[in-house]
Amino acid sequence: MSEPKVYYFDNNATTRIAPEVVDAMIPFLREFWGNPSSAYQFGAQVHGHVEVARGHVAALINAEPKEVTFTSCGTESNNSAIHSALRTTGKRHVLTTKVEHSANINYGEALERQGHEVTYLPVESDGSLDLHRLEQSIRPDTAIVSVMYANNETGVVFPIEEVAAICRSKGVLCHTDAVQVPGKLKIDVRQLGVDFLSLSAHKLHAPKGVGMLYVKRRTKYAPYVIGGHQERGRRGGTESVANIVAFGRAAELAMATLTEENTRVRALRDRLENWILTHIPNTIRNGAKEPRLPNTTNIAFDFVEAEAVLMLLDQVGICCSSGSACTTGSLDPSHVLSAMGVPAMRARGSVRFSLGIYNTGEEVDHVLEHLPRIIQRLRDISPLNPGHPDNDQYDVEAARRKHEEDLASAQAEAISA
Ligand SMILES: Cc1ncc(COP(=O)(O)O)c(C=O)c1O
């Protein structure tokens, strides 16, 4: 029985593991399963492969291998950088933005509960950052500034080189969450001048469960996961060897596919976006057109609920999302779009399409064939649509409240089921 075709437009959530990456990791599941810390040959040879992978990941960001610490995921890398800065500086303030991934926002909230202070910088309506405001917000007790390189929901790219320069001028550590960037934009830590940088392998065609934290040489470091002496004492826990080897292979491939992401994938994204914006009325792109990741578009469809759009797209095999996969199921509008001042109703009708190297022109055609009909169908029955025939006495707020109640009870039912 053949699998139904999946039209995958959610590459910012996770990516398909590249066949070359699967091939690279299989020997480390089948034959070379020794512990890389063991002294005998069977372990030592595995250790050698971990170091080769470290070299490939370091090359991806123009770092030295020693500056790369493998972790379990991007979330751990972000948490570790901030934790380390607080520990090594003894300061208590963290400066970040309102549009970070929950890996930062929720960690920041946890730190606040422990007595630290966290400032979440606002963004402009196009998702960009006011650097003057950032500079003004650095305080004498600021331990670290953590600003994402590119936003996972809108693709908007922040000027990290300038952020790092401001941090240096103030003597403050600088971290960037670059989880969405590899393979899409060139990353050069020397040029960026950051002290810490996070990556996650599953965003670049490698498996879930492995990430890395770049720690600039000579930066003081306090480990987050404390245990054995693995990763030169920076992260306890036996290395996830097959995943690390996979990460290394994916890093090599990501450097090779950079051009394709910026030409073919960008052209597909632009065709999808331009077609939607010109052929489907009452649509608008969320976030600046540039600088932006070449694979991401986030579009608001007025008078519909994104969750309904996603459900109907799913019925024709199309996978995309209404925001971060880590916040799926939440009834609140995206915190990123809210921070940009997108009205709640518009935010709730916003859909993110994130493309990748495996997408084809035919797949984009498939979306464009089904999407207009789906949006029209939902608008025809939408109580949010002022053009709806029953809407002479239209009360937007009441309709929205009713809709929220319906969604909440549907969700409660789903949870109890
Ligand atoms: C910008 C960003 N940071 C961090 C993460 C978390 O990465 P991980 O899933 O590896 O913990 C994600 C994942 O979606 C992300 O998009």
Q: Name the percent of the chain lying above pLDDT 90.
A: 88
Ligand 1 contact via 175 beta carbon (within 6 Å) = no
Residue 394 confidence (pLDDT) = 42
Strand (E) or helix (H) holding 211: strand 211-215
Contacts of 123 (CB under 8 A, 6+ apart): 97, 98, 99, 129, 130, 339, 340
- Condensed to tens digits (0 to 9), the pLDDT of residues 190-246 reads 999 999 999 999 999 999 999 999 999 999 999 999 999 999 999 999 999 999 999
Confidence of residue 408 (pLDDT cuts 50, 70, 90): low
Q: What is the mean pLDDT of residues 150-167?
A: 98
Ligand 1 contact via 75 beta carbon (within 6 Å) = yes
Amino acid, res. 383: P
Residue written as token pair 């493998």: 70
Q: Is 73 a catalytic residue?
A: no
Ligand 1 contact via 352 beta carbon (within 6 Å) = no
Confidence of residue 383 (pLDDT cuts 50, 70, 90): confident
How far does the centroid of ligand 1 lie from the alpha carbon of residue 378, in Å? Answer: 31
Tell which residue, 295, 307, 306, 315, has the closest CA to residue 364.
295
Q: Are 155 and 29 in contact (CB under 8 A)?
A: no
Side-chain half-sphere exposure of 161, counting CA atoms within 13 A: 7
Domain with CATH 3.90.1150.10 in the chain: 258-416
CATH topology of domain 258-416: Aspartate Aminotransferase, domain 1 (3.90.1150)
Ligand 1 contact via 154 beta carbon (within 6 Å) = no
- When the pLDDT of each residue in the chain is averaged and rounded to a whole number, the result is 93
How far does the centroid of ligand 1 lie from the alpha carbon of residue 75, in Å? Answer: 6
Confidence of residue 404 (pLDDT cuts 50, 70, 90): low
Residue 323 scores a pLDDT above 80? no
How far does the centroid of ligand 1 lie from the alpha carbon of residue 403, in Å? Answer: 30
The dihedral through the CA atoms of 388, 390, 392, 395 has a sign that is negative
Confidence of residue 328 (pLDDT cuts 50, 70, 90): low
Residue 410 confidence (pLDDT) = 44
Strand (E) or helix (H) holding 143: strand 142-146
Domain with CATH 3.40.640.10 in the chain: 19-254
Q: Which residue has the least CA distance to atom 14 on ligand 1?
A: 13
Residue 369 confidence (pLDDT) = 98
Ligand 1 contact via 157 beta carbon (within 6 Å) = no
Conformational region of residue 209, where left means phi above 0, alpha means psi within -120 to 50, and beta covers everything else:
left
Please tell me the distance from the alpha carbon of residue 412 to that of residue 417, in angstroms, as a whole number.
9
Q: Which residue has the least CA distance to atom 16 on ligand 1?
A: 152
Confidence of residue 389 (pLDDT cuts 50, 70, 90): low
- Which mutation among 78, 98, 102, 200 tests ligand 1's pocket best, with the greatest number of atoms within 8 A of CB? 200
Nearest atom, ligand 1, residue 150 CA: 1
Q: Are 170 and 188 in contact (CB under 8 A)?
A: no
Distances (CA, A) of 201 to 79, 168, 249, 316, 346: 16, 29, 10, 29, 32
Q: Which residue has the least CA distance to atom 5 on ligand 1?
A: 74
- Condensed to tens digits (0 to 9), the pLDDT of residues 343-380 reads 999 999 999 999 999 999 999 999 999 999 999 999 99
Q: What is the mean pLDDT of residues 149-167?
A: 98
Residue 115 confidence (pLDDT) = 97
- Condensed to tens digits (0 to 9), the pLDDT of residues 46-99 reads 999 999 999 999 999 999 999 999 999 999 999 999 999 999 999 999 999 999
Residue 398 scores a pLDDT above 90? no
Ligand 1 contact via 179 beta carbon (within 6 Å) = yes
How far does the centroid of ligand 1 lie from the alpha carbon of residue 25, in Å? Answer: 22
CATH of domain 19-254: 3.40.640.10
